A and B are shown apart, each in its own frame.
Chain A
Amino acid sequence: MSNMQLKNPILRWIEYRLPIFSFLDDSLGSNYPAPKNLNYWWNFGSLAGIALVLQIVTGIVLAMHYVPHVDYAFDSVERIMREVNYGWFLRYLHANGAALFFLVVYVHVFRGLYYGSYKYPREILWWLGIVIMVLMMATAFMGYVLPWGQMSYWAATVITNLFTALPWVGVNITEWLWGGFTVGNPTLNRFFSLHYVLPFAIVGVVFLHLWALHQHKSNNPLGIDIKGPQDTIPFHPYYTYKDLAGLGVFLLVLAAFVFYSPNYMGHPDNYIPANPLQTPAHIVPEWYFLPFYAILRAIPSKLGGVIAMAASIFVLFLLPWIDTSRVRSTKFRPVYRYFFWFLVIDVIVLGIVGAKPPEGIWILVGRLATLYYFVHFIIIMPFVGWFERPLPVPDSIHKPVLVSAGAAAVEAQR
């Protein structure tokens, strides 16, 4: 518990009855100890939280003007763009904010992968993170359907049709999801309802994620445990200010998209109203789904593709046991280090394949990249962990911090 000395008598009065100030101070204030060596890759967690709040705030205002009906949805979005004061700003913020939210979360996940943040004792913290990511995907997909443009409609059709691949009950489940015999008004209505409510479910899981985080504190670039107070610094002011610096850069990138290239990450076909009688030439998801889309299409059977796509995420839950390495941080793993970057490249290649029509060389590339994705997790990770000899790991966070600040000569000797 924080032993806060509040000077203001009103705050003290509140604190005595509801200890909210000490709670905040313990959670993200001066009484929350964080490893002193966190690098800028650790900014992406708090950035993701801010991106979530931005989506919720812009989304709530957009929902005040949006009409979830197949005959009016597209027009209501255009009304937001043309008639609602700063409606274009809200909608572009929401659309581009969603894309950057995914970018931030993907960096956050790869940071966790690189520094072994999923390993003991942070397994549940990691799982909760994956649950958030899956909820985000569901939310983003349903949000993309709402403008009821061509890509909205056909994305809804393609993705909901995946459930028909399930044996026996596939068609029943799909019709239950649709609320009819095809994607239609009931589908749009429930997608809107779920798109509104799921972000709040995400907020709930984020709280659990933070709760689990605070139990054992942040991992760090060295991947070693906090040994004592000499290894930590208070979250505030050190990391609050560091997070603000990162936030500034994030907002600059977001503003650059919103004001100067708001439709760059979108697809022109979604400015054509949904037409069930005309399929677009290429049905392409938003870029943040492309790697998963490539895995889905890499398997020449519908059920197989669905299973592979689900497995590509599910495998992440198993990481704490798949990874047999004795050390957390890839910094001290001379062999795995290369495989990590190959995985990054592999996922990017999958993204490229996902954007291409499934023909010619892209089918082969997609299959190889999909195969490698699973080989990485199922074969490479356990075996490299067994055979690799990690580099010597420092004794404490405190010591290397002193060294790196102390002398460049020590650095040169290494």
Chain B
Amino acid sequence: MKRFIRAAAIAALVVTTNAAAFAAGDDVKNPTAQGWSWDGIFGKFDRAQLQRGFQVYKEVCAACHELRYVSFRNLTEVGFSEAQSKAIAASYEVIDGPNDEGEMFKRPGRLADRIPAPFANEKAARAANNGAAPPNLSLITKARHDGSNYVFSLVSGYEKPPASMKVAEGMNYNPYFPGHQIAMAPPLEDGKVQFADSTAATVKQMASDVTAFLTWAAEPGLEARKRLGFKVMIFLLVLTALFIAAKQKVWRDLH
């Protein structure tokens, strides 16, 4: 009986912790699990995929969405060389100043600059987008439950609305979005970008590439974390084994 109660208690605990993590459950369609290169304890980003993802962000998402916490210098972590990153930075116009005359001025971007936002402020973003401000994407995969799968499913999962549903003016039907009506029009269509590495730009391909890029943008330290984690776990396993052995040795002659 006691053992049963104990087992039940542990089972209930597992359920609780999961329940806490999955508390937000409406009738939203769950994102489909994709299996990503960065999953698992040895997970890594695919540099070519990150670069394709950056291209999708730059040519598609960046029209409306800012990437607030990413600077041009960070692009070297995506696998661009310093010269490439500089060239990318220089292709942007950045507002700097005030200069000695007290005026703000425009200049080409530098590595130290953040990737400029498409709108001057949230009000401007709202005004240009039918009242819905496009969210900052630099944390999007951490700010949504099951973030990477969510982003992938959302951008590639637009559907025709069911007959019973009336989609409001200027809105689009997406089963993965809470409430199913999203202001963002389907952002991707086949061939929307031309990948330099001649990967075919299908919707699924672009969606998974941009998901990879945004996952990196949300947590650039992910690879370092997993690499260090493995070493730490091995170290702690040995240390704990030694502690337990030492305890056994100390206690052995006690009884």
**Given A241-B246, A244-B243, A345-B5, are A290 and B16 neighbors across the interface (CB < 8 Å)?**
yes
Cβ of B132 under 8 Å from chain A = no
- Tell whether, in the assembled complex, residue A268 and residue B145 are in contact, meaning their CB atoms are under 8 Å apart: yes
- Scoring B residues 124 to 163 as 1 if CB is less than 8 Å from chain A, else 0, what string do you get? 0000000000010001001111010000000000000000
Contact among A248, A267, A342, A345 with B243 in the assembled complex (CB-CB below 8 Å) = A248
Alpha-carbon gap, A252 to B240, bound state (A): 8
A-B contact count (CB 8 A): 134
Cβ of A256 under 8 Å from chain B = yes
Name, among B20, B69, B224, the residue most crowded by chain A CB atoms within 10 Å (CB to CB): B20
Q: Which residue of B lies closest to A342 (CB)?
A: B5
- Tell whether, in the assembled complex, residue B254 and residue A233 are in contact, meaning their CB atoms are under 8 Å apart: yes
- Residues of B within 8 Å of A255, CB to CB, are 229, 232-233, 236
Count residues of chain A with CB under 8 A from any CB of chain B: 55
- Tell whether, in the assembled complex, residue B178 and residue A290 are in contact, meaning their CB atoms are under 8 Å apart: no
Nearest-CB distance from A365 to chain B (Å)? 12
Within 8 A of A (CB), among B149-191: 178
Count residues of chain B with CB under 8 A from any CB of chain A: 52
- Residues of A within 8 Å of B95, CB to CB, are none
- Tell whether, in the assembled complex, residue B243 and residue A259 are in contact, meaning their CB atoms are under 8 Å apart: no
- Tell whether, in the assembled complex, residue A260 and residue B240 are in contact, meaning their CB atoms are under 8 Å apart: no
Alpha-carbon gap, A222 to B132, bound state (A): 65
Cβ of A407 under 8 Å from chain B = no
Cβ of A387 under 8 Å from chain B = no
Within 8 A of B (CB), among A250-275: 251-252, 255-256, 258-260, 262-265, 267-269, 271-272
Cβ of A341 under 8 Å from chain B = yes
- Scoring B residues 204 to 243 as 1 if CB is less than 8 Å from chain A, else 0, what string do you get? 0000000000000011110011101110110011011101
Q: Which residue of A lies closest to B217 (CB)?
A: A82
**Given A238-B251, A244-B246, are A348 and B240 neighbors across the interface (CB < 8 Å)?**
no
- Scoring A residues 218 to 236 as 1 if CB is less than 8 Å from chain B, else 0, what string do you get? 0000000000000001000
Cβ of A237 under 8 Å from chain B = yes
- Tell whether, in the assembled complex, residue A259 and residue B233 are in contact, meaning their CB atoms are under 8 Å apart: yes
- Tell whether, in the assembled complex, residue B12 and residue A252 are in contact, meaning their CB atoms are under 8 Å apart: no
- Tell whether, in the assembled complex, residue B69 and residue A82 are in contact, meaning their CB atoms are under 8 Å apart: yes
Name, among A82, A265, A338, the residue most crowded by chain B CB atoms within 10 Å (CB to CB): A82
- Residues of B within 8 Å of A344, CB to CB, are 5, 9
- Residues of B within 8 Å of A348, CB to CB, are 9, 12-13, 16
- Residues of B within 8 Å of A349, CB to CB, are 12
Q: Which residue of A lies closest to B237 (CB)?
A: A252
Q: Which residue of A lies closest to B74 (CB)?
A: A82
- Residues of B within 8 Å of A242, CB to CB, are 247, 251
Contact among B225, B233, B236 with A89 in the assembled complex (CB-CB below 8 Å) = B225
Alpha-carbon gap, A341 to B13, bound state (A): 13
Stretch at the interface among A19-27, A128-136, A156-164, A351-359: A351-359
Alpha-carbon gap, A78 to B41, bound state (A): 23
Alpha-carbon gap, A256 to B236, bound state (A): 10
- Tell whether, in the assembled complex, residue B24 and residue A282 are in contact, meaning their CB atoms are under 8 Å apart: yes
**Given A248-B239, A284-B23, A348-B9, are A268 and B142 neighbors across the interface (CB < 8 Å)?**
yes
Cβ of A281 under 8 Å from chain B = yes
Cβ of A195 under 8 Å from chain B = no
- Tell whether, in the assembled complex, residue B9 and residue A245 are in contact, meaning their CB atoms are under 8 Å apart: no
Q: Which residue of B lies closest to A406 (CB)?
A: B255
- Residues of B within 8 Å of A245, CB to CB, are 240, 243-244, 246-247
Nearest-CB distance from A77 to chain B (Å)? 11
Cβ of B83 under 8 Å from chain A = no
Alpha-carbon gap, A238 to B15, bound state (A): 37
- Tell whether, in the assembled complex, residue A259 and residue B225 are in contact, meaning their CB atoms are under 8 Å apart: yes
- Residues of A within 8 Å of B2, CB to CB, are 337, 341
Cβ of A412 under 8 Å from chain B = no
Q: Which residue of A lies closest to B43 (CB)?
A: A260
Contact among A36, A75, A251, A252 with B254 in the assembled complex (CB-CB below 8 Å) = A36
Nearest-CB distance from A153 to chain B (Å)? 14
Cβ of A249 under 8 Å from chain B = yes
Cβ of A126 under 8 Å from chain B = no
Cβ of A247 under 8 Å from chain B = yes
- Residues of A within 8 Å of B224, CB to CB, are 88
Nearest-CB distance from B152 to chain A (Å)? 16
Alpha-carbon gap, A264 to B20, bound state (A): 10
- Tell whether, in the assembled complex, residue A256 and residue B233 are in contact, meaning their CB atoms are under 8 Å apart: yes
Within 8 A of A (CB), among B1-45: 1-2, 5-6, 8-9, 12-13, 15-17, 19-21, 23-24, 26, 41
Nearest-CB distance from B121 to chain A (Å)? 13
- Residues of A within 8 Å of B255, CB to CB, are 401-402, 405
Alpha-carbon gap, A348 to B246, bound state (A): 36
- Residues of B within 8 Å of A260, CB to CB, are 41, 226, 229
New A-B pairs, 18, CB < 8 Å, besides A269-B143, A348-B16:
A82-B69, A82-B220, A82-B221, A89-B225, A238-B251, A242-B247, A242-B251, A245-B243, A245-B244, A248-B239, A259-B225, A259-B226, A281-B26, A284-B20, A290-B16, A338-B1, A345-B8, A348-B13
Instruction: Identify the A interface with B (CB < 8 A).
Output: 36, 75, 78, 81-82, 88-89, 92, 233, 237-238, 241-242, 244-245, 247-249, 251-252, 255-256, 258-260, 262-265, 267-269, 271-272, 281-282, 284, 287, 290, 337-338, 341-342, 344-345, 348-349, 351-352, 355-357, 401-402, 405
Instruction: Identify the B interface with A (CB < 8 A).
Output: 1-2, 5-6, 8-9, 12-13, 15-17, 19-21, 23-24, 26, 41, 69, 135, 139, 142-145, 147, 178, 218-221, 224-226, 228-230, 232-233, 236-237, 239-241, 243-244, 246-247, 250-251, 254-255
